[in-house]
Structure 1
Amino acid sequence: MARTSRKQGKAAEQTTIPAMKTALYVRLSNEDNGGRSEDGIDNQLELLLDFIRRLEDMEILPGNRHKPSGRKVENRKDTYIPSGAHVPSGKKVEIIETYVDNGQTGTDFDRPGWERMMEDAKAGRINCIMVKDLSRFGRNYLEAGDYLEKIFPFLGVRFIAVNDQYDSEGEIFPHKELITEFKNLANDYYSKDISKKIMSAFRAKKEQGQFIGSKAPYGYILENNRYVIDEAAADVVKRIFAMKTEGMSAYKIAGILNQEGVPSPSRYAGEQGAKKYKNCGHILWQQEAVSRILYNRAYVGDLVQGKYNSSIYSRERRGKKEEDAWEVLEGTHPAIIDRNVFEQVQEIREKNRKAWKDRQGGPGYGNVLEGILVCGICHHAMWRNKEVRNGKVSYYFFCGSAYGHSQTKCNTSSIVDHKIFDMVLKQIRLQIDLAVEADSLLEQMKKSDTHVAVYQEKKEATGRVRNELGRYVYLKTSIYEDMKQGILTKEEFLAAKERYARKISRLETELNEKERELEKFEKYMGGENQWLKAFLDFRDAKELTREMAVNLLEKMEIFEDKRIHIRFRFRNEYEYLMSKLAERGEGCGRTVSG
């Protein structure tokens, strides 16, 4: 038998190298959407496919999701693979899928196509990502750097940016760490510059009286960034203001509109074709919607904008501004309500608000359970109201759904507030007694040799797993050098890499569990148990206060039969401590439900 030459053996060996399971990622920015720039979806895709064809003679199978559209590609370049680039012979590329984000900004990575691709990378479905250039990848310098330097290497994903001549493995293109960082920094600056220009354009539009939001107030429609009166809805707005000038409350106005079958603003928008509100046919008028209309200066022809601090670059809303900082332009569009009528309504609303505060401002009115007590049937907030009979003032709770306009109302009856307060205080006192007993037992247990031994064993077990993980991470990173030096073949390298990756994944899971258990033990048993601290702080309390309710109660539910379910805070700390005391045979003498 003839001997096989070393060259032939090497060639045969290279053909067995697994193909790169490649994802093609293309993104069209908001600015380019709808245009025919070289950054168009089809152009990006054709460039990547042409690069792969030049990289190797590869057949693109018909019917694949990455099949090009056949459109003529404009502004194409012929130098995707530069002269002198090292292209490994026999390298195979398997295109798994093309991931597309159409009309998505590059300033963050909150994009559906990108997120789906990263899920596939985590699942091992792909191990190579290919993009036209770094700007298609992302324009946020810091977050892009995290992907290139940490996330991709951790996932074992190769990253190739064709026009920037970047290959994370340095095979097709030489390593360009500094160039990559400066390019990303430039893209980051570009995004911030675009943000400034957009904000500047927005300011110019505001000064011209143009609306830059996405939805006009009820009673108007938006045409060319300006408010135009919607006559049908405007008639309803006029009725609302008229009823208010007659002394009707917002609640009563909403009830009349519902009785007459007048569509609520959400329902009306859906009937007019607004996709966002297409499923709002069941929404009725509520007093809040009426109040918003009565307070909105848009109905006298004024444009009010800039209520919130926000950033186009980060797409974050940064809190509401003070009212005197809002941007107001008077007389920018046709008015629905006469300015004198609007001012009259504001005076009525202010007078009613002051009278309500005067009625409710008596001693003891403060609702200590606000935001905590809800109806156990419909989960609506329980409201607290004042009642005066024969000069005697009392307060009671009732379900808020009975007050609002909704198609479903529960039958939870009202209950006098002091009865609830007494029941809650009784349960808190039981928890405090339990905490006092548990604290004493815990202090005794901390001094025992067994407690110290258990803690030491948990620390040592965590350290052993951490050291083993570090060893396998080192082995995984060192085998690449072994392959480059010829100690390992490509097949041996890939097999070892996969084996170490599985081991590392298992050890990471085990380490997380060990660290969580150690942290729990230190936090709940060795240090300051939050459940103990919270309840012991109120051991001398004689009455229920707002501070006590906020610190100790997470949620309360009241049912038709006056039954109350209380969920206390720090349940994890409580249950962990009780379980450890029970393991030592030192359980507390009573248990408290809730």
Structure 2
Amino acid sequence: MARTAQRYKKLVEKKSAQVPVYRAAIYARLSVDKNEKKVESIETQVALIKEFIQTHNAKADKEYELALYDIYSDIGKTGTNFERPGFERMMKDIRERKVNCILVKDFSRFGRNYIETGNYLEKILPFMKIRFISICDRYDSFAPDSENQELTMNIKNLVNDAYAKDISAKERAAKRIAQKNGEYVGSKAPYGYRCEKVDGKYTLLIEPEAAKIVQRIFEEYAAGEKIQHIIDDLYKAGVHRISDYNQYHHVYCQKGEILHQWGNSSIRAVLNRNNYYGDLVQRKYESRFQKGEKGCAVLDEREWIITPTAHAPIISRELFEKAQERLKAGQEARTVVGWKKDERAFYNVFYCGECGRKMSTSRSNGSVFYFCGASRYQDERKCNYKSVSEDKIQSIVHAELNRQFQLSGLQKKNMVAMGKTAFQAKIVQIENEIKRMNVEAERQAGKFAEAFMQYKDRNLSREAYMALRVERNDWKIFCDERRKALEQRITELQKRQKEETRFLKSLLDLKGTSKINAELAEALIEKIYVYDDKRLEIHFRFKGGVGV
């Protein structure tokens, strides 16, 4: 599926000048779902779309032609998010104007997340002037009747989302049964172990060489050694970090290999692994996907699934507990989990100007500081140390915003109106989704009422009626939960709008008393860079970079 730029160029040159030629991207996806049908294979999807292109171009009355630019695919990737290599490569080519048309077999191949899929189809792609064609759904975003197809498209995307959640729930239930039976269900074994099937169950077995490193980390930390010292010693000893160990399959760096030092988070991850004392501890986290949210929720210890003495221990329980006591004592810098809301307003926009990495944060004497984490590296990634406090950045950015607003002549009422419009657009988008769900809910109710009458008149079997009843109930639960989440989001947006309006008024009146929160910082600032000479460079979204 390599790019064939020369063939593509020749093909475009041959096209008739009387109709527009779209530079087409074929996108195909195959998930890890065991229920995926064979007809959904990557090859089958691509062949179907190619046949569509050929048939379309052969029409004498065609209004446009399709010139295949490249084929993009993702194998073993879920459709519940868009973090896929093939998809990201396609979007990169779209941004570079190499592609202006996307063809998929059906909506589910593009994505199964209702919100994100709808955002691409209704907002992002139309804004970028990208034609979107779903073959089996007979949908063309540039067709004269595309607006009439919009409700059908949204319903299908909602059904795809519900299907993905249903599959997720079934897989989760199967995983819970395996966990309760004492079987390891992780995708990779913890560092220090390997996973093999023993007596019909996936079990953790010790990898002696890596297990010694685990013992070393626990013993040194429990004895009072600082994490940074442990990292330094492992680097001096030539011990591969976990990701490189998974690549090279041995602990110590050998000739021709690149040695990277361990990260602070990797050491902490090892220290927090309950499995090292022989108990199989699983379900410490749970995906938020069923709730229509990203990421994982940290579960209470009472919800963990624990199988005592499920495998051979690497360390004693006493050593593990000793390390935990020290971790909980908070003698070292706290991690992201402990940060309060808006305590690090610039965390997502602040970068080192020398190495380009996002700045790390620490707390000292009640104040928050940003520093370049790469300054702690000993390998080729090492950068010079630089540090600046949250308070200082607040002061500098606040003053520069005031100056920029004065120079640009922006009026208070205009800024407030801009902010209100942005928030209102988000709220309207959510309200439209609620309306679409209500329309579909009415259709489902009518469908069920009709089925009931057929069942009552004995024109529908009890089995078929009960299946429709279960489907109706599942749909109602999904809609109720989704509606509740969306209404809560509207309330949050309205609250944030009021807070931002108050801040903008204060800022533009030059009172200088308000703190910039994280959401406003990200809305106004693209990036902030800090250099070795302590110079800050601010790139505002509404204006070019400014050196301070």
The equivalent of 1:329 in structure 2 is 307
Conserved? CA contact 2:271–2:323, under 8 Å? yes
Q: Find out whether 1:214 has 2:192 as its counterpart.
A: no
Residues 172 and 281 of structure 1, relative CA distance in 2, 3 Å threshold: same
Residues 228 and 146 of structure 1, relative CA distance in 2, 3 Å threshold: same
CA distance in 2, matches of 1:117, 1:375: 29
Conserved? CA contact 2:289–2:295, under 8 Å? no
The equivalent of 2:248 in structure 1 is 271
Q: 1:119, CA displacement in angstroms?
A: 5.7
Residues 257 and 566 of structure 1, relative CA distance in 2, 3 Å threshold: closer
CA distance in 1, matches of 2:136, 2:352: 61
Conserved? CA contact 1:168–1:175, under 8 Å? no
Conserved? CA contact 2:352–2:531, under 8 Å? yes
Q: Find out whether 1:101 has 2:105 as its counterpart.
A: no
The equivalent of 1:43 in structure 2 is 44
Residues 122 and 382 of structure 1, relative CA distance in 2, 3 Å threshold: closer
Conserved? CA contact 2:280–2:308, under 8 Å? yes
CA distance in 2, matches of 1:350, 1:142: 39
The equivalent of 2:512 in structure 1 is 534
Residues 129 and 333 of structure 1, relative CA distance in 2, 3 Å threshold: same
- Between Structure 1 and Structure 2, whose CA radius of gyration is higher? 1
CA distance in 2, matches of 1:323, 1:100: 43
What is the one-letter code of the residue matched to 1:40?
A: S
CA distance in 1, matches of 2:528, 2:51: 61
What is the one-letter code of the residue matched to 1:304?
A: V
Q: Secondary structure at the match of 1:528?
A: helix
Q: 1:302, CA displacement in angstroms?
A: 1.9
The equivalent of 1:186 in structure 2 is 159
Deviations 1:286-345 (A, max 9, x none): 777556544432111123333334234667214534555544332222212233454455
The equivalent of 2:317 in structure 1 is 339
Residues 128 and 329 of structure 1, relative CA distance in 2, 3 Å threshold: same
Conserved? CA contact 1:253–1:287, under 8 Å? no
Question: CA RMSD for the aligned pairs?
Answer: 6.1
CA distance in 2, matches of 1:340, 1:214: 28
Structure 1 residues 138-537: aligned runs within 5 Å: 138-149=111-122, 157-168=130-141, 176-223=149-196, 225-241=202-218, 257=234, 260-272=237-249, 281-284=258-261, 292-312=269-289, 316-323=294-301, 325-343=303-321, 349=326, 353=329, 406=378, 527-529=505-507, 532-534=510-512
What is the one-letter code of the residue matched to 1:186?
A: V
Q: 1:229, CA displacement in angstroms?
A: 0.6
Q: Secondary structure at the match of 1:336?
A: coil
Residues 90 and 338 of structure 1, relative CA distance in 2, 3 Å threshold: closer
Structure 1 residues 17-36: aligned runs within 5 Å: 17-21=18-22, 23-31=24-32
Q: 1:230, CA displacement in angstroms?
A: 0.3
CA distance in 1, matches of 2:224, 2:107: 63
Q: Secondary structure at the match of 2:186?
A: coil
What is the one-letter code of the residue matched to 1:138?
A: G
Conserved? CA contact 2:24–2:70, under 8 Å? yes
Deviations 1:43-86 (A, max 9, x none): 22322333344446x4xxxxxxxxxxxxxxxxxxxxxxxxxxxx
Q: 1:273, CA displacement in angstroms?
A: 7.2
CA distance in 2, matches of 1:112, 1:296: 30
CA distance in 2, matches of 1:171, 1:375: 49
Quote the sequence identity (%): 31
CA distance in 1, matches of 2:171, 2:17: 53
What is the one-letter code of the residue matched to 1:228?
A: L
The equivalent of 1:486 in structure 2 is none
Conserved? CA contact 1:133–1:162, under 8 Å? yes
Conserved? CA contact 1:270–1:280, under 8 Å? no
What is the one-letter code of the residue matched to 2:170?
A: K
The equivalent of 1:508 in structure 2 is none
Q: Secondary structure at the match of 1:232?
A: helix
Tell me the TM-score normalised to structure 2 length. Answer: 0.53
Q: Secondary structure at the match of 1:198?
A: helix
Q: 2:104 aligns with which of 103, 127, 131?
A: 131
Conserved? CA contact 1:531–1:571, under 8 Å? no
Conserved? CA contact 1:51–1:162, under 8 Å? yes
Q: 1:157, CA displacement in angstroms?
A: 4.8
What is the one-letter code of the residue matched to 1:100?
A: Y
What is the one-letter code of the residue matched to 1:528?
A: S
Residues 571 and 120 of structure 1, relative CA distance in 2, 3 Å threshold: closer
Q: Find out whether 1:89 has 2:89 as its counterpart.
A: no
Tell me the TM-score normalised to structure 1 length. Answer: 0.49
The equivalent of 2:488 in structure 1 is none
Conserved? CA contact 2:23–2:101, under 8 Å? yes
Conserved? CA contact 2:94–2:100, under 8 Å? yes
Consecutive unaligned residues of structure 2, counting only runs of 5 or more, are 1-15, 333-342, 419-500, 516-526
Residues 557 and 284 of structure 1, relative CA distance in 2, 3 Å threshold: same
CA distance in 2, matches of 1:153, 1:556: 33
CA distance in 2, matches of 1:169, 1:403: 52
Conserved? CA contact 1:32–1:39, under 8 Å? no
Residues 566 and 178 of structure 1, relative CA distance in 2, 3 Å threshold: closer
Q: 1:233, CA displacement in angstroms?
A: 1.6
Residues 41 and 279 of structure 1, relative CA distance in 2, 3 Å threshold: farther
The equivalent of 1:582 in structure 2 is none
Residues 131 and 239 of structure 1, relative CA distance in 2, 3 Å threshold: closer
CA distance in 1, matches of 2:117, 2:374: 52
Consecutive unaligned residues of structure 1, counting only runs of 5 or more, are 1-14, 59-86, 358-367, 386-396, 414-419, 446-450, 463-522, 538-553, 580-592
The equivalent of 1:541 in structure 2 is none
Deviations 1:240-261 (A, max 9, x none): 5555676766666666555554
CA distance in 2, matches of 1:114, 1:309: 26
Q: 1:231, CA displacement in angstroms?
A: 0.9
Conserved? CA contact 2:194–2:206, under 8 Å? yes
Residues 280 and 315 of structure 1, relative CA distance in 2, 3 Å threshold: farther
CA distance in 2, matches of 1:374, 1:26: 34
What is the one-letter code of the residue matched to 1:297?
A: N
CA distance in 2, matches of 1:38, 1:16: 37
Paired residue total: 401
Residues 317 and 170 of structure 1, relative CA distance in 2, 3 Å threshold: closer
CA distance in 2, matches of 1:234, 1:338: 13
Deviations 1:428-460 (A, max 9, x none): 8x999x99xx9xxx9xx9xxxxx9xx969x99x
Deviations 1:179-234 (A, max 9, x none): 43433332222122122222223322322333343333321123355322101122
